[in-house]
DNA sequence: GCCGTTTTCGGCCCGACTGTTTTCAGTCG
């Protein structure tokens, strides 16, 4: 978790606890502030009042938190109501108010006690609760225990596609599109939203809830169910509402607020059903997203940009960049074979690259220090390079001999410069000694970038989403070094990594540091990861020019040379 | 608690859905 995330979580807890107490308005203020902090740069924390939605009161809490690691007033709220509010509110249908009521009435403080109270029928006796609610809570507890984590895009996107195709097969359905954070290609997703155009919404809802799924709610416009540990919302709309509904349910929430304000500015009203002229009440758009954007006087905003990071203003000015697309990617600059920890031979990896129509492929197996991956000795590395160059004569894809060298504790690499100098492409990455303070990690990365033989800095943060945080480092310092040394930063496309992050891509674009959208493929099928990397690059406003491996062979050779 | 080109005080997004209600509160997105 970044410091921004930690502070945002602290503010959200404030909001929940105030709401549980029945306080009005303040919770919204804390929630707005939390969201703004999450979106702000890490530098912004030094002057919190400059962050939108953060005033003097919340700013002083942020300062207290950064200084002491705790906030006195939050501690008091915790003492007052000692409940695990974060866990309890994960239960479907249980929000802060319910937590407050159940604590007052039954003394429930965590998931175990909630489950126990439900099992013994105590909840239905509390005023405002009934048998049904108690049953729903009981069913929701187990899921809440497991679902602390958001789902990787690498899992939710294929699942969403599968569900969409199943929905599309229903006779009553004309169209179905996945919306929400899946469509925005956020690195992790909460639930899966699908917008469905149907002639017969009731029949569609019935058909879907007949699947092997646990139905959460079923209405005329919205049907929710849980399938294979994933929450799915179907938004059932009429054909002429499709565009506005898709726009609305794609979000993000903050982007929607911003677009709604554009509508207000122009004397229009925007909601999920369409766009209306305020004065005449005439409906002016709604059937397609393009039409909705046009009515608002905006360029079409690609879903990946819809995070309220300036895209609304830029779209009004007609100055959105032409984002990189998967077809723009011409090659792969980070791949492995079975000579180290890959699952396929050199020949198979090359054949896979040819099949994908890549113009070039760099074979970059691990080097010696990475024992667990069978890292290559200098000799083996030279032998691989010879084989790569020999194979290059016979294939339709330009092969580069390379290595993924390890950045050691002192910032040096585990391969001598002489050997690296013989290679075409050198990726340098940290694979060990990851428990570091920020200064140490930054120094290690910067000295690797300063090494003349290094072309690309691999997965800079070392994080694995949901399982390893990665070391903290000063991204600006690394970026500065990369800019002056003409080194590219990798955007590792493995859905577990997505490292660098989308907001860092944006910084690279600004600093004119090329981004290498690499898959780090260990088998030919992993070249498919490029989709996730490209999506993340798009979320960082990157064009094809900003992506190193979208360049032609000649441009790339020029840069490497 | 935050915000402001109608504002330094008086507002805070809003619609769908559910369950417990006799008209609404809470949750969710």
CATH number of the domain to which A202 belongs: 3.30.460.10
The pLDDT profile of chain A, 561 residues, written as one tens digit per residue, is 778 888 999 999 999 999 999 888 899 999 989 988 988 887 888 999 999 899 999 999 999 999 988 999 999 999 999 999 999 998 888 999 999 999 999 999 999 999 999 999 999 989 889 988 998 898 888 888 876 778 899 999 999 999 999 999 988 899 999 999 999 999 999 889 999 999 888 888 888 888 878 888 888 889 998 888 888 999 999 999 999 999 999 988 889 888 988 888 888 888 899 998 888 888 999 999 999 999 999 999 999 999 988 899 999 999 999 999 999 999 999 999 999 999 999 999 999 999 999 999 999 999 987 766 778 999 999 999 999 999 999 999 999 999 999 999 999 999 989 999 999 999 999 998 888 888 899 999 999 999 999 999 999 999 988 777 788 899 999 999 999 999 999 999 999 999 999 999 999 999 999 999 999 999 999 999 999 999 999 999 999 999 999 999 999 999 998
Q: CA of A526 and C1' of B22: distance in angstroms?
A: 60
**Domain containing residue A92: CATH number:** 1.10.150.110
What are the Cα distances from residue A415, in Å, to A316, A411, A443?
Answer: 51, 12, 19
A36 is a domain residue? yes
Instruction: Assess whether the previous peptide bond of A500 is cis (omega < 30° from 0).
Output: yes
Cβ–Cβ under 8 Å, residues A91 and A139: no
Of A212, A237, A262, the residue at which a domain comes to its end is A237
Range of the domain at A258: 243-316
Straight-line distance from CA A449 to C1' B13, in Å? 48
Residue A410 and residue A548 share a domain: yes
Beta bridge partners of A456: A427, A488
Residue A158 tokens read as 């294929």
Query: Rounded to the nearest 5°, which phi and psi values hold at A8?
Result: -60, -45
pLDDT at position A171 is: 86
pTM over 0.95: no
Number of compact structural domains in chain A:
4
Nearest nucleotide relative to A89: CA against C1': B27
Q: Which of A148, A170, A199 is the last residue of a domain?
A: A148
Q: Answer yes or no: do A157 and A144 share one domain.
A: no
> Which nucleotide lies closest to A233 by the C1' atom and the CA atom?
B29
Separation between the CA of A5 and the C1’ of B8 (whole angstroms): 32
Residue A408 falls inside a structural domain: yes
Q: What is the pLDDT of residue A472?
A: 86
- Which protein residue's Cα is closest to nucleotide B12 at C1'? A25
Reduced to 3 states (helix: H, G, I; strand: E, B; else coil), residue A521 is strand
Domain check: are A349 and A204 in the same one? no
Report the distance from CA of residue A110 to the C1' of nucleotide B11 in Å, as an integer. Answer: 36
Q: Are A369 and A415 a contacting pair, CB within 8 Å?
A: no
B11 closest protein residue (CA to C1'): A25
Distance, CA of A221 to CA of A88 (rounded, Å): 28
Last residue of a domain, one of A186, A204, A237: A237
Residue A242 in 3-state DSSP? Answer: helix
Residues A475 and A336 grouped into a single domain: yes
- The CA–C1' separation of A80 and B1, in angstroms, is 21
User: What's the number of CA atoms in the CB half-sphere (13 Å) around residue A8?
Assistant: 16
* Nucleotide lying nearest to A27, CA to C1' measure: B1
Q: Are A140 and A156 part of one and the same domain?
A: no
Round and report the angstrom distance from CA (A25) to C1' (B25).
16
List the nucleotides on chain B closer than 7 A to a protein CB: 1-3, 11-21, 25-29
First-to-last C-alpha distance (Å) of chain A: 38
Non-local (6+) Cβ contacts of A26 within 8 A are: A15, A18
On whether residue A136 sits in a domain, the answer given is: yes
Residues A156 and A196 in one domain: yes
Please indicate, yes or no, whether residues A75 and A102 belong to a single structural domain of this protein.
yes
pLDDT of residue A298: 93
Whether residue A155 is found in the same domain as residue A303: no
**A338 and A481 housed in the same domain:** yes
The CA–C1' separation of A266 and B5, in angstroms, is 15
Query: Long-range contacts for A372-380 (Cβ within 8 Å, ≥24 apart)?
Result: A372/A341, A373/A340, A373/A341, A373/A431, A374/A339, A374/A340, A374/A341, A375/A340, A375/A406, A375/A414, A376/A339, A376/A340, A376/A403, A378/A415, A378/A416, A378/A419, A380/A339
Helix (H) or strand (E) holding A402: strand A398-406
Assess if residue A123 is contained within a domain.
yes
Claim to verify: residue A227 and residue A253 sit in the same structural domain: no
Residue with tokens 């990690």: A441
The answer to whether residue A280 is domain-embedded is yes
A503 in a domain, yes or no? yes
Please indicate, yes or no, if residue A362 is contained in any of the structural domains.
yes
pLDDT at residue A278, as a whole number: 80
Nucleotide nearest to A218 (CA to C1'): B17
Which nt is closest to the CA of A54, judged by C1'? B2
Residues A398 and A544 in one domain: yes
Q: Which of A299, A326, A328 is nearest to A314 (CA)?
A: A299
Is A321 a member of any domain? no
Spatial separation of the C-alpha atoms in residues A464 and A187, rounded to whole Å: 11
Report which of A36, A38, A69 is spatially closest to residue A55, judged by C-alpha positions: A36
Q: Which two tokens stand for residue A532?
A: 């996730």
Contact status, residue A46 vs residue A37, Cβ threshold 8 Å? no
Task: Name the nucleotide nearest A219; use CA and C1'.
Answer: B17
Q: What is the pLDDT of residue A308?
A: 87
Residues A174, A144: one domain? no
How many angstroms is C1' of B17 away from CA of A85? 24
């Amino acid at each position: 978790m970044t410091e921004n995330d930690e502070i945002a979580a602290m503010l959200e807890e404030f909001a929940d606890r105030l709401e549980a107490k029945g306080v009005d308005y303040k919770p919204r203020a804390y929630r707005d502030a939390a969201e703004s902090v999450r979106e702000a740069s890490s530098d912004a924390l030094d002057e919190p009042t400059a962050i939108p939605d953060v005033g003097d009161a919340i700013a002083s809490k942020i300062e207290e938190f950064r200084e002491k690691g705790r906030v006195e007033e939050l501690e008091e709220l915790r003492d007052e109501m000692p409940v695990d509010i974060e866990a309890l509110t994960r239960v479907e249908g249980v929000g802060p108010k319910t937590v407050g009521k159940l604590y007052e009435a039954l003394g429930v403080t965590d998931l175990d006690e909630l489950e126990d109270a439900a099992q013994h029928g105590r909840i239905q006796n509390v005023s405002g609760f009934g048998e049904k609610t108690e049953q729903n809570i009981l069913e929701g507890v187990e899921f809440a225990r497991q679902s602390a984590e958001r789902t990787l895009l690498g899992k939710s996107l294929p699942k969403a596609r599968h569900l969409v195709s199943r929905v599309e097969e229903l006779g009553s359905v004309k169209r179905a599109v996945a919306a929400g954070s899946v469509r925005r290609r956020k690195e992790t997703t909460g639930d899966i939203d699908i917008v469905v155009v149907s002639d017969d919404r009731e029949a569609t809802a019935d058909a879907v809830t007949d699947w092997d799924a646990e139905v959460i709610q079923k209405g005329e416009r919205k049907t929710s169910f849980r399938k294979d540990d994933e929450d799915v919302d179907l938004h059932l709309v009429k054909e002429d509402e499709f565009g506005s509904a898709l726009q609305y349910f794609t979000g993000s929430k903050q982007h929607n607020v911003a677009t709604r304000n554009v509508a207000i500015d122009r004397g229009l009203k925007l909601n999920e059903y369409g766009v209306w002229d305020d004065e005449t009440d005439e409906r002016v758009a709604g059937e397609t997203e393009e039409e909705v954007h046009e009515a608002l006087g905006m360029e079409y905003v690609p879903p990946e940009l819809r995070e309220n990071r300036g895209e609304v203003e830029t779209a009004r000015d007609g100055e959105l960049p032409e984002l990189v697309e998967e077809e723009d990617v011409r090659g792969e600059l980070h791949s492995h074979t079975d000579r180290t920890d890959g699952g396929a031979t050199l020949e198979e990896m090359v054949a896979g690259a040819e099949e994908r129509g890549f113009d070039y492929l760099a074979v970059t197996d691990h080097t010696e220090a990475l024992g667990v991956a069978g890292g290559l000795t200098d000799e083996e590395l030279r032998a691989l390079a010879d084989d790569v160059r020999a194979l290059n004569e016979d294939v339709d894809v330009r092969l580069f001999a390379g290595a993924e060298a390890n950045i050691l504790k002192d910032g040096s690499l585990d391969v001598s410069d002489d050997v690296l100098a013989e290679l075409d492409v050198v990726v340098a990455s940290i694979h060990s000694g990851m428990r570091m303070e920020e200064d140490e990690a930054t120094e290690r990365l910067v000295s690797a970038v300063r090494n003349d033989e290094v072309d690309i800095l691999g997965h800079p943060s070392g994080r694995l989403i949901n399982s390893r945080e990665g070391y903290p480092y000063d991204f600006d310092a690394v970026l500065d070094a990369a800019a002056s040394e003409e080194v590219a930063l990798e955007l590792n496309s493995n859905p577990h990594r997505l490292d660098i992050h989308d907001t860092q891509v944006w910084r690279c674009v600004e600093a004119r540091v090329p981004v290498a959208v690499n898959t780090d493929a260990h088998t030919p099928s992993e070249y498919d990861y490029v989709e996730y990397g490209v999506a993340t690059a798009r979320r960082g406003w990157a064009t094809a020019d900003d992506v190193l491996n979208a360049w032609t062979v000649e441009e790339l050779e020029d840069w490497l040379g």
